[in-house]
DNA sequence: CATGATGCTCAAAGCGCTTTGGAAGTCGGG
DNA sequence: CCCGACTTCCAAAGCGCTTTGAGCATCATG
């Protein structure tokens, strides 16, 4: 069913039908009613490709997911972010275009979005320190919003981020208040901007109490369960194990906990743990009482906010271009006063 | 940069340029070289919308992710499936279109795909018993592939599935061989087809040894960590706890394990656990020696297979329309002989 | 009654591409 | 030297929609 067919059926011109459907004022209320009723009856919906060719708007937002041959890994945070963003897209009539590419082709993927004109905007994921993709997107001239920030990148760009520095500084402070002095940090890969900031928060809190950060207590790696487990085993088997561990992801924290328990330590009593919790929908941190004490910020909500901002930019609405979300510090059962081992 | 501009630059007609770029034989090799070089130089890529309007092919595959208000939950398996499928799409020049909708709008989303013509095919996720969406898609006439199957649905449809029945039957058999008699089943929601089949495998294995399934040992629910934990606590606190637990997902198994350990039981020694493992990239089952004994099947690989099949169907290639993957039964540290409690 | 304003509708152009149906140009065979 | 067969290229139509610019009634106003 095309617009032309529908209009012939109604005895109207395509123009009028189009205007009726798109809410233009030049068409009488009676005609509009008649048209929309017919459209519903015959199941007519304008062809997206034709429409966007005519309007110049793709009505779609692009996301690029790089797949690395080295660490074959899809960020678990991604699924929840997508869900949040996707909600907002559908509500506003946008589609979401996902491009899964080998990471060496990532730049081409962005270029492709721009030249092939199949999206109106882009969300940039997982920015690194001084991320070159930001400049690329700026030169491509396609609206975009970054989920996270990129330190050392100058020039303005739109972003939605959690206050990672503050969150980890508060978490560290809290552990220090409980009497912990040897606090380990199990961080994400430290070319990632969020990891850099978390580390800065951690080190800042230590420094404020005159404690020099111990490199032997600081780790960076992929945020998998296994990684958390292995590091914890190694740490606890060492000569001077920490009394508390600060972890960058719930998933890693699960592994850390497993390591602790395998070493015969009871989490929350013998050793403390604070994790960052992205509030992944399928990985709730306990029911009523959280299992883990955590710095908490909903990644799904970040997705919604980023999507909303991007649509605002595309549609030239005047709204803030920077959103900094504060993480809550939520008390769970995984922390307690430092015990002298 | 449009085709017309490029052709003027080259002193050729748009027709010739288009044909050169699309590999038609009517254009000389010399011209083709000249055209492709110019295209590269000026960064020309055909506008997707215009092209697909002209060809009638959207060069995109649609996925619908329903978001439920009740159980706000994005299937974690989804991310990995998407990654696998997405790989194949990009390699074949297809885009992936994700539609995140409230689940009451799911039917509309499929209808929308069909009438708005923005996809050439659809992947159907998480089929239930006698899933009405299959008939819907059949009447819509859009090529589709189901990830999973739908029992009680007659009429052929294309699918990629794991042999869930066989996997759980084997796992149960294995536990029985180890002397276990009271084996609990922590399953996914049992309107889901995969859960029905897993239960059938479990019950079949028990029946083969003359053991009547005990309803008090069978559970169905969302496959979250918390759910596994809570069920396990309840089970182990009961009068006649099981000596082994069969779990439908790694994530749930993590919770089950947590419950076991909280109750003072050592997994693999005091109590056994077998889980199904979808081989999620961020949730490896141990490094060299698997932590959990598991029925194992890569969901990412299923994604690749489903995507490949769908593209074959769209492009009218003649390939099998049904793929049944066998899950491995991988031995880990979570199982051992039954101990009399 | 003439005039302009207003409300409703339409014809036609154009978005950027593919593709059909030729039309020139080239070449070898009769 | 002519003719058919290729080879190489092009003009123009068409994909399904939006949107510009007008046209035709109808209505209130001076």
Is residue A162 within 8 A of residue A198, CB to CB? The reply is: no
- Angle A266-A271-A273 from CA coordinates, rounded to 5°: 105
- Residue A12 per-residue DSSP state: S
Burial of residue B252 (number of CB atoms within 10 Å: 0-12, 13-18, 19+) = buried
**Residue in A58, A95, A259 to test binding to B, most B beta-carbons within 10 Å:** A95
CB within 8 Å of B154: residues ≥ 6 apart: none
- B84 in helix, strand or coil? helix
Count interface pairs A-B at CB distance under 8 A: 169
Is residue A259 within 8 A of residue A233, CB to CB? The reply is: yes
Contact residues, chain B, for A97 at CB < 8 Å: 60, 95-98
B59: left (phi over 0), alpha (psi -120 to 50) or beta: left
**Edge-to-edge strand order for the sheet containing B328-330?**
B218-220, B183-187, B244-247, B272-277, B293-296, B328-330
Q: A222-226, B30-34, B170-174 — which one is most confidently predicted on average?
A: B170-174
- In this prediction, residue A71 carries a pLDDT of 60
- In this prediction, residue A112 carries a pLDDT of 94
CB contact under 8 A, A115 and B45: yes
Phi and psi of B232, rounded to 5°? -65, -45
Rg (CA), chain B: 25
Measured between CA atoms, how close is A222 to chain B, in angstroms? 9
Q: Rounded CA gap, B190 and B184, in Å?
A: 15
Half-sphere exposure of residue A22, counting CA atoms within 13 Å on the CB side? 12
| Nearest by CB: A225 against B78, B83, B284 | B284
- B74 in helix, strand or coil? coil
Half-sphere exposure of residue B305, counting CA atoms within 13 Å on the CB side? 20
Contact residues, chain A, for B268 at CB < 8 Å: none
Q: Rounded CA gap, A226 and B303, in Å?
A: 24
- In this prediction, residue B73 carries a pLDDT of 60
- In this prediction, residue B340 carries a pLDDT of 66
Give the Cβ contact number of residue B194 at 10 Å: 26
- In this prediction, residue B77 carries a pLDDT of 87
Q: Rounded CA gap, B26 and A189, in Å?
A: 53
Q: Which of A336, A341, A206 is nearest to A274 (CA)?
A: A336
- B232 in helix, strand or coil? helix
Per the model's pLDDT, the better-predicted residue between A152 and B71 turns out to be: A152
Is residue B151 within 8 A of residue B197, CB to CB? The reply is: yes
Measured between CA atoms, how close is B66 to chain A, in angstroms? 9
| Over residues B71-99, mean pLDDT | 88
- A277 in helix, strand or coil? strand
Is residue A172 within 8 A of residue A149, CB to CB? The reply is: no
CB contact under 8 A, A99 and B98: no
Phi and psi of B26, rounded to 5°? -75, 0
- In this prediction, residue B88 carries a pLDDT of 97
Strand bridging mode B144-147 / B121-124: parallel
Is residue B126 within 8 A of residue B64, CB to CB? The reply is: no
pLDDT per residue over A214-269, tens digit each?
A: 999 999 999 988 899 999 999 999 999 999 999 999 999 999 998 998 899 999 99
Q: Per-residue confidence of chain A (341 residues) as pLDDT tens digits?
A: 899 999 988 999 999 999 999 988 888 888 899 999 999 999 999 999 999 999 999 999 999 999 886 665 667 788 899 999 999 999 999 999 999 999 899 999 999 999 999 999 999 999 999 999 999 999 999 999 999 999 999 889 999 999 999 999 999 999 999 999 999 999 999 999 999 999 999 999 999 999 999 999 999 999 988 899 999 999 999 999 999 999 999 999 999 998 998 899 999 999 999 999 999 877 788 777 899 999 999 999 999 999 999 999 999 898 899 999 999 999 999 999 998 65
**B240 Cβ contacts chain C strand, under 7 Å:** no
Q: A78-82, A178-182, B2-6, B278-282 — which one is most confidently predicted on average?
A: A178-182
Strand bridging mode B244-247 / B95-102: unpaired
Strand bridging mode B144-147 / A328-330: unpaired
Phi and psi of B294, rounded to 5°? -155, 155
Print the SS3 string covering A47-112: CHHHHHHHHCCCCEEEEEEEECCCCCCCCHHHHHHHHHHHHHHHHCCCEEEEEEEEHHHHHHHHHH
pLDDT per residue over B128-169, tens digit each?
A: 999 999 999 999 999 999 999 999 998 899 999 999 999 999
Predicted confidence (pLDDT) at residue B70 exceeds the cutoff of 70? no
Print the SS3 string covering B171-205: HHHHHHHCCCCCEEEEECCCCEHHHHHHHHHHHHH
Predicted confidence (pLDDT) at residue B93 exceeds the cutoff of 90? yes
CB contact under 8 A, A49 and B118: yes
| Over residues B162-179, mean pLDDT | 98
CB within 8 Å of B40: residues ≥ 6 apart: none
| Over residues B54-63, mean pLDDT | 95
List b or e across A42-80, with b for residues whose CB sees 16 or more CB atoms inside 10 angstroms. eebbbbbbbbbbeeeebbbbbbbbbbeeeeebbbbbbbb
What is the percent of chain B with per-residue pLDDT over 70, rounded to a whole number? 97
Predicted confidence (pLDDT) at residue B287 exceeds the cutoff of 80? no
What is the percent of chain B with per-residue pLDDT over 90, rounded to a whole number? 81
Structural domains of chain A sorted by starting position, each given as residue range(s) with its CATH number in brackets = 3-46 (1.10.260.40), 60-162+300-325 (3.40.50.2300), 164-297 (3.40.50.2300)
- In this prediction, residue A284 carries a pLDDT of 80
- CA distances (Å), origin A173, targets A168, A176, A207, A211, B48: 8, 5, 11, 12, 53
CB contact under 8 A, B82 and A99: no
- In this prediction, residue A341 carries a pLDDT of 52
**Residue in A21, A45, A49 to test binding to B, most B beta-carbons within 10 Å:** A49
Predicted confidence (pLDDT) at residue B300 exceeds the cutoff of 90? yes
- Mean pLDDT (chain B) is 93
Residue nearest to nucleotide D13 (CA to C1'): B54
pLDDT per residue over A175-217, tens digit each?
A: 999 999 999 999 999 999 999 999 999 999 999 999 999 999 9
């Amino acid at each position: 069913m095309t617009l032309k067919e529908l209009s012939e059926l109604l005895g109207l011109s395509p123009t009028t039908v189009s205007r009726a459907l798109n809410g233009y004022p030049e068409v009488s209320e009676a005609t509009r009613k008649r048209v929309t009723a017919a459209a519903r009856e015959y199941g007519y919906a304008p062809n997206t490709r034709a429409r966007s060719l005519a309007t110049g708007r793709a009505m779609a937002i692009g996301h690029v997911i790089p797949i690395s041959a080295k660490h074959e890994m899809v960020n678990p945070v991604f699924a929840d972010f997508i869900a949040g963003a996707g909600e907002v897209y559908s509500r506003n009539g946008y589609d979401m275009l996902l491009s899964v590419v080998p990471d060496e082709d990532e730049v081409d993927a962005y270029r492709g979005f721009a030249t092939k004109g199949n999206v109106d905007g882009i969300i940039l994921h997982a920015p690194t320190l001084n991320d070159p993709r930001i400049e690329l997107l700026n030169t491509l001239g396609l609206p975009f919003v970054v989920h996270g920030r990129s330190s050392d990148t100058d020039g303005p760009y739109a972003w939605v981020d959690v206050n990672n520095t503050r969150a980890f500084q508060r978490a560290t402070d809290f552990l220090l208040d409980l009497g912990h002095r040897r606090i380990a940090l199990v961080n994400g890969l430290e070319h990632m901007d969020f990891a850099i900031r978390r580390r800065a928060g951690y080190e800042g809190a230590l420094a404020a109490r005159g404690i020099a950060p111990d490199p032997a207590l600081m780790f960076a790696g992929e945020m998998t369960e296994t990684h958390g487990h292995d590091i914890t085993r190694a740490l606890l088997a060492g000569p001077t194990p920490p009394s508390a561990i600060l972890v960058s992801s719930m998933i890693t924290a699960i592994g850390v906990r497993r390591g602790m328990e395998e070493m015969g330590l009871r989490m929350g009593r013998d050793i403390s743990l604070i994790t960052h919790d992205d509030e992944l929908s399928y990985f709730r941190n306990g029911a009523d009482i959280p299992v883990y004490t955590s710095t908490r910020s909903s990644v799904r909500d970040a997705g919604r906010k980023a999507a909303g901002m991007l649509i605002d930019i595309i549609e030239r609405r005047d709204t803030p271009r920077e959103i900094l979300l504060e993480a809550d510090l939520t008390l769970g059962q995984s922390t307690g006063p430092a015990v002298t081992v």
